[in-house]
A and B are shown apart, each in its own frame.
Chain A
Amino acid sequence: MSATVEVVDLVREYRMGDETVQALKGVSFAVQKSEYVAIVGPSGCGKSTLLNLVGVIDKPTSGQVSIAGERVDSLSDSRATEFRLRRIGFVFQRFYLMQALTARENVELPLAEAGLAGAERRDRALELLEYVGLRKRERHRPSQLSGGEQQRVAIARALANRPALLLADEPTGELDARTGAEMIALFERLNADGTTIVVVTHDEELARAARRVIHMRDGLIVGDERAR
């Protein structure tokens, strides 16, 4: 069976005035189904850039990215959007919930976009909130939720359309140690339930919880170890 994620010789360059900055200098790796991978490295090593490319929210300068057997590195904007909606779930460091919507409505957002009808959408959203332990907070707006609760809503949103892949960029970055630990436990449960997860993190605890750790430095993979 093909890997869930396949990255071949990925290069990403940015122009900053007269200079060209190479954020990625030729990265290759693969992630299998139900793997839990952490990508670690110092600031500026290119790990977030790599995640963005895998998450189809950025385009590489050269190289290939395939997700669930489909090439995604040169999709049109509308196809890429559709792909992100149905095949990828993204969790961000700063949660990025819609402040104007309730917790349930935030989770419903990608479901509505996918065309789910009202009742079905609502039920699925409640199911997801139940899964992350926030069923009772469904009517609360983000400003009424703690950081940890907001991140759990963000995870529920990311799982809405049963994605092939869950990507998380510093998911514990804005959380205190206790809440961070709760988040790590949630990721472990998700992975145990079969979700393929790739996280980018500075958090050692979160990296330790992953089954595989990819080390990056200066736009290149310098290490790839299986933790347990």
Chain B
Amino acid sequence: MIITLAFASLVRHRARTALAILGVAVSSAMLLDMVMLSSGMRESFRGLLLSQGFQLRIAPKGTLPFDTEATIRDADSLVALIRARPGVQAVSPVLGGQLHFPLGSGAVTAAALGVEPAVQGDYELVAGRNPTSANEIVANDALLRALGRTVGDTVRAAAGYDAQLRALSGERVLRVVGRVRFIYLALEQRAAALPIGTLRAMSGPELESRASVAMVRLRSGVDVERERAELERLLPRVTVISTTKALEQVDERLSYFRQLAVILGAVSLVVGFLLVTTLVTVSVNERIGEIAVMRAIGVRRWRIVAQIVLEAAAIMLVAAPLGLALGLVTARYLNSILARFPGLPERIDFFLFQPSAAWTALGLLAACGVLAGVYPSWRGASLPIATTMRQEAVG
């Protein structure tokens, strides 16, 4: 009976119901987007960091990986020391730099990563193979396109550019053996990877035995934080960052988006709440006489409240899938804007859809909707019966 009354009431005012559904759908879409934004980056970044299974990253003291141009001195002995630890499965040292590829009268410059191909975790092979000898290189599509080269071709590359002599230094001829996708670089960023020894040799004596960062994969069951603390104790001239710590750093630097998400999410909730409150209040005011009669014939107050709250809940229920669809579309659009951040890794999403996010948003909105409906309906059901009926009869 309550369901019948609630449904009938909604159908009676189609335009109003439709607009309310639309309003709540927009509210829930915004709320969903903000919930996705508040956790999306973090989860996306976590996924990125753990995609190759490396739980720890070692950088020069006081820096984040690749945050500065600083490098770790005596990196080889450091890597050997770490590899000797029983809890460590693999260590991937990485040296960051630049390579210049002469082309015509100029040169194409690209980011260069010196890696140990057997253990590297910086790129995924799309075609070809990993470098197995010193004079082999892999590159991404952006670089290969710029050079007009493909897998199997040779390229001339130089590590240094001397401004005084306008000359390239550390030049070598390298064979392109693989086409790759770099995990931590932006899609459009030209980049190549080659054996770390080759990059060091090309870069000159100042980078001998140096690395920008070392990534560490631990054996399963090893306590990550304990190992991190132990490594930091053993290696005072570096900073050891776990995924958790890295995420904290990211959170801090990108806290703006989280705060924006919280504020806009709160605004969406408040507006949704106001909308439902207004709808219920108007609905109750219109039916005040009907409510008084129901009370007069013995219908209990809570049942009347339940009927009205059910109307609000029905609007939420219909608006929810609409809001979900709208939210996903909007999130995709907003994500496409933010994906244009210069240097942002291709795989980072600011808006990451997680079912838990959808449930959170829906749950919040549903709770709000119910709360918004309870008070005005309780007030309406608590009015003095005789007076209300008399007023309604006269009105």
Contacts and interface: CB of A to CB of B under 8 A. Distances in A.
A100 B293 contact: no
A205 to B, nearest CB: 22
A100 B10 CA distance: 10
Given A101-B5, A105-B1, A90 B297 contact: yes
A152 interface: no
Given A112-B1, A113-B303, A81 B386 contact: no
A109 B307 CA distance: 13
Nearest to A96: B293
A101 B8 contact: yes
B9 A90 contact: no
Given A92-B293, A93-B393, A101-B8, A81 B1 contact: no
Interface string A90-121: 10111010111100010011101110000000
Given A57-B386, A105-B4, A96 B300 contact: no
A98 B6 CA distance: 12
Contacts of B294: 98, 109
A88 B385 CA distance: 15
A58 B385 contact: yes
Given A96-B293, A100-B9, A100-B12, A82 B298 contact: yes
Interface residues of B, number: 26
A53 B8 CA distance: 32
B139 to A, nearest CB: 70
B296 A55 contact: yes
Contacts of A157: 297
B295 interface: yes
A47 interface: no
Contacts of B12: 99-100
B167 to A, nearest CB: 88
B297 A84 contact: yes
Contact of A100 (B5, B299, B390, B393): B5
Interface residues of A, number: 34
Tell me if B's interface is mostly helix, strand, loop or mixed.
helix
B290 A109 contact: no
B295 A81 contact: yes
A86 interface: yes
B215 to A, nearest CB: 66
A152 B289 CA distance: 20
A206 interface: no
B382 to A, nearest CB: 8
A193 interface: no
A58 B4 CA distance: 29
A158 B297 contact: yes
Contact of A84 (B11, B290, B298, B390): B298
Q: Which 7 residue pairs are nearest across A and B when measured between Cβ atoms? A: A85-B298, A100-B8, A96-B293, A58-B386, A84-B298, A57-B385, A52-B386
7 contacts: A81-B300, A83-B298, A85-B299, A94-B393, A96-B289, A108-B1, A158-B297
Interface of A: 48-49, 52, 55, 57-58, 77-78, 81-86, 88, 90, 92-94, 96, 98-101, 105, 108-110, 112-114, 157-158, 161
Given A52-B385, A86-B298, A98-B5, 17 more contacts: A49-B386, A58-B386, A81-B298, A82-B298, A83-B298, A84-B296, A84-B298, A85-B297, A96-B290, A98-B294, A100-B5, A100-B8, A101-B8, A109-B299, A110-B297, A113-B1, A158-B297
